[in-house]
Structure 1
Amino acid sequence: MQTAVHKAAQPSRAELMRTVTAIIIGNAFVAYDFTVYSFSAVIIGDLFFPSSNPASSLLLSLATFGAGFVMRPLGALMIGHIADSRGRKAGLAVSLALMTLGTWLIACLPGYASIGPAAPALMVLARLMQGLAAGGEIGPASASLMETVPYRNRCFMVSWRGASQGAAAFAAALVGASTTALLSPAAMHDWGWRIPFVLGGLIGPVGWYLRRRMQASAPQQRARLGPMRMFAAHPRAIVCGLLMMAAPSVGIYLTVFYMPAYLVRTLHRPAAISLLTACLSGLVILVVTPLVARAADRCASRKTLQYVALVASLAVAWPAFRALAHGAGDVAALVIITAYVALAVNNAGPSSVLVMEAFPAHRRAAGLGVIYSFGVVLFGGFSPLFVTWLISRTGDPMMPAWYLMAATLLTLAALRAFPEPEARGACVACASPPAV
């Protein structure tokens, strides 16, 4: 626990806006660059992992994509520790620098035909760098946003981190689909696949400039780096927080990233619907997440609206997928999907704040980052693979609904058990000074 809490002068409105803008733009950039790889996975497989079997090339490319997920917990621990011990600004700078370097490496990397085995090795290295950055971004970004405002505005402010990820999903889908539509297959294979990475790489220096202008904070009390030490100090918060990640992780990976493939491959709907689904889902997350968070700030408990959203999404999951699988038209399908996303993927603000308020300031960024990153790896990252396997084994197109419902029940149980201060201001976190 912290031994002392020092009051700090509240930042001016201009400083606050500069800080929030730098965090949100940088976080959106990190999320965009981490996910846009999936839109070029087939081409990357051909160019960097050549094989006589195209399926093998794709699997190796997807395995490289998955390598980024494996590195996220390590990034959360390492960069979160930097943010907790040296100031939020330092951690945010490291995550953005790693993501920028990894993105430009992918954008400029010659293929296997040019440099041989070095090409796949460097591609894996680039994804490892991106994974470290993505894992290390969440904790410092969320803590920085939370610590810039009073208690009554925390959920709303932190929600913009989740909203920016919705914007990133929208941008990634739009850029990926636009390049595919505007370029010939030959041009896309030769050089067009690099365009989304170049665009993402150009945002990196902008985010770096904005974060360099952020007001630096005094370092927090130093905490020894190590997951076991953190777990020993906060076992209940870490275990329950990790299990609370089940519903949001499975929700976003199934309803946003996996849904286009599910609609086309399993339900045999037109391919054009995949672009609209991903774009609309991203927009819904961008708009709805701050609105829910604003309402959550007015509740006596951080858990209230989370219970409402989880119970409601549990109730409608089966009917929604039943309608998708049994005859809903394409327009109706889009409405159903976006409505479900609005209901099920909207708790980034209150859930993140609830977790961070369970940790003292000198463990806050690492605590949330580790919980989020392990949760994404354990529940989210592999959920499309598990659901695809379940559908292939059972032939039941309702498997995504059952999977979502199971994850929601797990999150409800964990949310109920998660420690929460009895009153506002009862936790160390509520008295902590701004630290960006």
Structure 2
Amino acid sequence: MSAKPVPSGIVEQNRAVSSSRIVVAATVGNLLEFYDFTVYSFFALTIAKLFFPSHDPIVSTLMALFAFAIGFVARPLGGFVLGRYADKRGRRAALTLTIFLMALGSLTIGLTPTYESIGLAAPAIIIVARLVQGFAQGGEFGAATATLLETGSAKGRGFRASWQLASQGAAALMGSGIAAILTYQLSSTQLLEWGWRTPFLIGTLIMPVGVYLRRHIVEEPPKAEASKQVVLEGYLVRKWFLTVFAIMGMTVATYVLMYYIPTYSIQYLKMPARLSMLVSISAAAVSLTFCPIWGALSDKMQRRKPLTMTGRVMLIALLYPAFWLMNQFPSLPVVMGLIIVLMFFYTMGSAPAYALMPENFPKHVRAGYLASAYAVSVSVFGGSAQLVVAWLIRVSGNTMAPAWYMIACVIVSLIAVSMLEETGGRELT
């Protein structure tokens, strides 16, 4: 007696549920990564005071930002090692390992005694924790983005891949929201003594959920023929360099607009800490809202590059006027409104690219090449962005330095995007 066929409606529903769960599983590591970035950025001044004390508060802040940036030194190694691991052993194995290591780093930061308690060992432990996180984060992006791209229908690749960027907005929203609640509810003494540790410890709770999802949901990729790698080598190297520079401008914009803005608003716009947090929260909300919209629109257009290039051109045009207006009218409505406008075009120029870049690589090497390109670009340009703009302001005395630096980086990334192959609507190789 033959089995009864499963109704097509139920099959499609099961596929949709499975696909949505895989999106969550793929992006939960990115969520933890950028949640940790957000929390560190909000409490950079507190961390500077507790772990990198100095007579000059600006120097102390620079040292704290240096510790933040040094985590990116390990990213390229993680990108090459864990990206290749994801291509050889499967996405699931790599994703489970990366989220465990990221949570370990976050837990270490949350529990480390201060400089006053253990001296130089305190900043040393913070730096080691950031290096562990950086190694894990180097491999996270390639494996997770490849999973999003390869799971589900071809027509929804841009929408699914855009959630990798949207999750950054969700993480920033979560991190800034918790930081804002703590800042409003606790006294300055409580915040300095123990309150700043709470968000880091909360972040580690994401790890068991992520491990469960990744161990039970993410599928293994098929093995590839070794001969294909030799034939495509020159093509892949060119695509790798283009991807590095395509990421360059937008990763700098990410770390300045979403993570450096609270520190910038406090130190140079003289805004209260509580108000500066609201600016970052609004930026995160725009990212979470519009990234899926632009990703879905690129699917509908069956083209990635028009939206990507338009968003970047508009960002280049608006960065200088926006920062000039912030400095002339340093109030919450003005600064928040300008950041929202900048983030609107930032998401337009970035979300479709999260499908465009991995689509330019064959499946059997996609995670490795994408992870290493992303890790190198973010390490060299993104991780140093806050430190560079803070240093530029100090040496030049010009608070417009962040705008000029971002403009230069986005111009380079615009040129790189123009040289990538249009992949919207095509079958993946």
For the aligned pair, the TM-score class normalised by the smaller chain equals 0.7 to 0.9
Query: Residue 284 of structure 1 contacts residue 342 of structure 1 at CA under 8 Å; is this kept in 2?
Result: yes
Task: Give the drift of 1:184.
Answer: 2.4
Task: Give the drift of 1:160.
Answer: 0.6
> Residue 124 of structure 1 aligns with which residue?
127
- Over the aligned positions, Cα root-mean-square deviation in angstroms equals 2.9
Compared CA separation, residues 105 and 229, structure 1 to 2 (3 A): farther
Relative to structure 2, which stretch is displaced further, 298-307 or 345-354? Answer: 345-354
| 1:403 aligns with one of 398, 402, 405 | 405
1:151-172 CA-partner distances (Å, limit 9, x unpaired): 2211100101100111111222
If the length of structure 1 is used for normalisation, what is the TM-score?
Answer: 0.86
Give SS of 1:388's match: helix
Task: Give the drift of 1:320.
Answer: 2.1
> Residue 385 of structure 1 aligns with which residue?
387
| 1:344 aligns with one of 343, 346, 357 | 346
Relative to structure 2, which stretch is displaced further, 239-248 or 178-187? Answer: 178-187
1:18-55 CA-partner distances (Å, limit 9, x unpaired): 21222223321222124422333444445445667766
| 2:66 aligns with one of 51, 63, 67 | 63
Letter in 1 for 2:172: A
Task: Give the drift of 1:269.
Answer: 3.5
Letter in 2 for 1:289: C
Q: Distance in 1 between matches of 2:207 and 2:336?
A: 33
1:5-404 matches, within 5 Å, as 12-49=15-52, 58-112=61-115, 118-221=121-224, 232=234, 234-327=236-329, 329-404=331-406
Query: Residue 248 of structure 1 contacts residue 345 of structure 1 at CA under 8 Å; is this kept in 2?
Result: no
Query: Residue 86 of structure 1 contacts residue 219 of structure 1 at CA under 8 Å; is this kept in 2?
Result: no
Structure with a larger share of its residues in helix: 2
Q: Distance in 2 between matches of 1:52 and 1:164?
A: 38
Letter in 2 for 1:73: P
Q: Percent identity?
A: 37
Provide structure 1 residue ranges, at least 5 long, that are not aligned to the other structure.
1-8, 432-436
Letter in 1 for 2:288: L
Letter in 2 for 1:297: D
Query: Residue 312 of structure 2 contacts residue 349 of structure 2 at CA under 8 Å; is this kept in 1?
Result: no
Aligned residues: 417
1:253-298 CA-partner distances (Å, limit 9, x unpaired): 2211122232332233444331111100001000011101111112
Compared CA separation, residues 311 and 183, structure 1 to 2 (3 A): same
Q: Distance in 1 between matches of 2:281 and 2:384?
A: 22
Q: Distance in 2 between matches of 1:389 and 1:91?
A: 36
Letter in 1 for 2:166: A
Give SS of 2:301's match: coil
Q: Distance in 2 between matches of 1:363 and 1:234?
A: 9
Task: Give the drift of 1:88.
Answer: 0.8
Compared CA separation, residues 280 and 423, structure 1 to 2 (3 A): closer
Q: Distance in 1 between matches of 2:226 and 2:195?
A: 46
Task: Give the drift of 1:134.
Answer: 1.7
Q: Distance in 1 between matches of 2:305 and 2:24?
A: 28
Query: Residue 33 of structure 1 contacts residue 99 of structure 1 at CA under 8 Å; is this kept in 2?
Result: no
Query: Residue 65 of structure 1 contacts residue 127 of structure 1 at CA under 8 Å; is this kept in 2?
Result: yes
Query: Residue 249 of structure 2 contacts residue 409 of structure 2 at CA under 8 Å; is this kept in 1?
Result: yes
Task: Give the drift of 1:114.
Answer: 5.0
Q: Distance in 1 between matches of 2:302 and 2:65?
A: 44
Relative to structure 2, which stretch is displaced further, 408-417 or 92-101? Answer: 408-417
Query: Residue 25 of structure 1 contacts residue 207 of structure 1 at CA under 8 Å; is this kept in 2?
Result: yes
1:310-366 CA-partner distances (Å, limit 9, x unpaired): 122222223322322323753133112111111123444321221112211121112
